[in-house]
Chain A
Amino acid sequence: MFKKFSPKDDVSGKSKVKSSVQRGIRSKILEQYPALNPYIEELMPKKDPLILVKCHDRLNVVMVNDQLLFFNHHDGPYFPTLQILHKFPDIMPQVQVDRGAIKFVLSGANIMCPGLTSKGARIDVDLPVDTPVAVLAEGKEHALALGELKMSTQDIKSINKGVGVELVHFINDGLWHAKIEA
């Protein structure tokens, strides 16, 4: 989604949102990532204005204090940006790909099932389809991408063919580099 994303061309508008909307976004994020509860005040202080950056295709990026925090697409689930995910690594379920897949993930490819089931890969918990997941890599500490499951983890293991995780955001993509001024 962010493979070719440049703030200059793709941002269609940014606006400070009403405090009621701000509260709504905040509660939605907390509902999705309950582990963030103790830290939310640090991430998005109630007093500071929240800026919603609107991009093409109904993509919204939540920005507080010039820092991009979360984004969502078509009113779907909120995803943290990878910078935030690196800071709070355990807020979302994780899958791990093998070493061979890293190269392709870093150029924006969707993750195929074999990359998730082979030896270096790992799926610890059972997750239903459409779950946002963090993508880790074999031998690495930090997440390298964010995605959405296109199959349940059960199916990934049993079918083992085709796209398992649709890639949403990965390190070194447009959003990773994006700097947006308020």
Chain B
Amino acid sequence: MSDTEDNAAAQEWPSTRVLTDIVYCGVCTLPVEYCEFAGTTTKCQKWLRNKDVALFAKTWPAVDLTEKMDDATLEEDSTLTKEQKKAEAKAAQEAKKKAAQRLIIKRVERTKRKCVIEVSGLELFGVDLKKAAKLFATKFACGSSVTKNPQGTDDIIVQGDVQDDIYDLVLDTWPQVPEEQIELTEGKKK
């Protein structure tokens, strides 16, 4: 086999170390030594402390001492540094943003008695639009596609008068979409 030949001739090639035990941070995805530059330092520290104390001590030698103090007082009670405040503000903002997300299911008249349904905002809930469009097409036996709207974001257009059915289907299929964030509207196209 050619593979064995490859191995036999391996001496000719420059060698490289092979590292297989690199720990990537579960919060910022960087190698843990770069967590300090990720902007989510406190979260990263917490994550690493829970995961691997020895590595934590190695990566954050300066924090090691305070760690014991933290354990006594409670992790979150450690004095708020500037960075922590920043991160918290960011998290709060994100939560706000999340609450403001809307899934709009709009019925658009095309000709008399015929209409299409525009579903916009589904991607905000982490749904793959292509798959969703396909699902709508099979469920309602009608044409359904992903199109760009004038704002540059993607909509799903469903060719059929199925506004209420979509509402129910969305609630059933994607539990992460809260009912109060779905909006049913009617409108004219263009």
Interface residues of A (CB under 8 A from B): 34-39, 41, 86-91, 102-103, 106, 140-142, 144, 171-172, 176-177
Docked CA distance A34–B11 (Å): 11
* B33 partner residues in chain A, CB cutoff 8 A: 140-142
For A90, what are the chain B residues with a Cβ–Cβ distance below 8 Å?
Answer: 14-17
Interface with A: B24-32, B80-88, B93-101, B158-166, which one? B24-32
User: What are 26 residue pairs bridging A and B, where the CB atoms are less than 8 Å apart in the complex?
Assistant: A34-B13, A35-B14, A35-B15, A36-B16, A37-B10, A38-B6, A38-B7, A41-B6, A87-B18, A88-B16, A88-B18, A88-B19, A89-B19, A90-B14, A90-B15, A90-B16, A90-B17, A103-B37, A141-B31, A142-B22, A142-B31, A171-B31, A171-B34, A172-B29, A172-B30, A176-B29
11 more A-B residue pairs beyond the given contacts A35-B13, A37-B10, with a C-beta to C-beta distance below 8 A? A34-B14, A35-B14, A87-B18, A106-B34, A140-B33, A140-B34, A142-B33, A142-B34, A144-B34, A171-B34, A177-B29
> Which chain B residue shows the least CB distance to A86?
B22
Q: Are B16 and A89 in contact (CB under 8 A)?
A: yes
A37 to B30 alpha-carbon distance, docked (Å)? 27
Instruction: Determine chain B's interface SS by DSSP, over half rule.
Output: loop
Q: Verify A88–B10 contact, CB threshold 8 A.
A: no
The answer, among A35, A87, A91, for a CB contact under 8 Å with B22, is: A87
**Within 8 Å CB of A38, what residues of B?**
6-7, 10, 13
* Number of residue pairs A-B, CB distance < 8 angstroms: 61
- Give B6-64 interface residues, CB cut-off 8 Å to A: 6-7, 10, 13-20, 22, 28-31, 33-34, 37-38
Chain B residues with CB below 8 A from A35, complex form = 13-16
B3 within 8 A of A: yes
Across the two chains, which residue of chain B brings its CB closest to A105?
A: B37
Question: Which residues of chain A come closer than 8 Å to B15, judged between CB atoms?
Answer: 35, 90
The answer to whether A37 and B19 have CB atoms under 8 Å apart is no
- Once the chains bind, are B37 and A37 in contact (CB under 8 Å)? no
CB distance from B9 to the nearest CB of A (A): 8
A contact residues around B28 at 8 Å (CB): 172
Please indicate the chain A residues that have their CB under 8 angstroms from the CB of B13 in the complex. Answer: 34-35, 37-38
Give the distance in Å from the alpha carbon of A91 to the alpha carbon of B6 in the complex: 17
Residues of A contacting B14 in the complex (Cβ-Cβ under 8 angstroms)? 34-35, 90
From A144, which residue of chain B is reached at the shortest CB distance? B34
For residue A123, give the distance in angstroms from its CB to the closest CB of chain B.
19
Question: Complex Cα distance A176/B25, Å?
Answer: 13
Considering the chains assembled together, what is the distance between the CA atoms of A34 and B12 in angstroms?
A: 9
Min Cβ gap B149→A in Å is 15
Q: A86-B22, A172-B28, A177-B29 known; A91 and B16 CB under 8 Å?
A: yes
Interface centre among B16, B18, B20, B33 (most CB of A within 10 A): B16
Query: Given that A34-B14, A38-B13 are contacting pairs, would A87 and B19 also be in contact in the complex, using a CB cutoff of 8 Å?
Result: yes
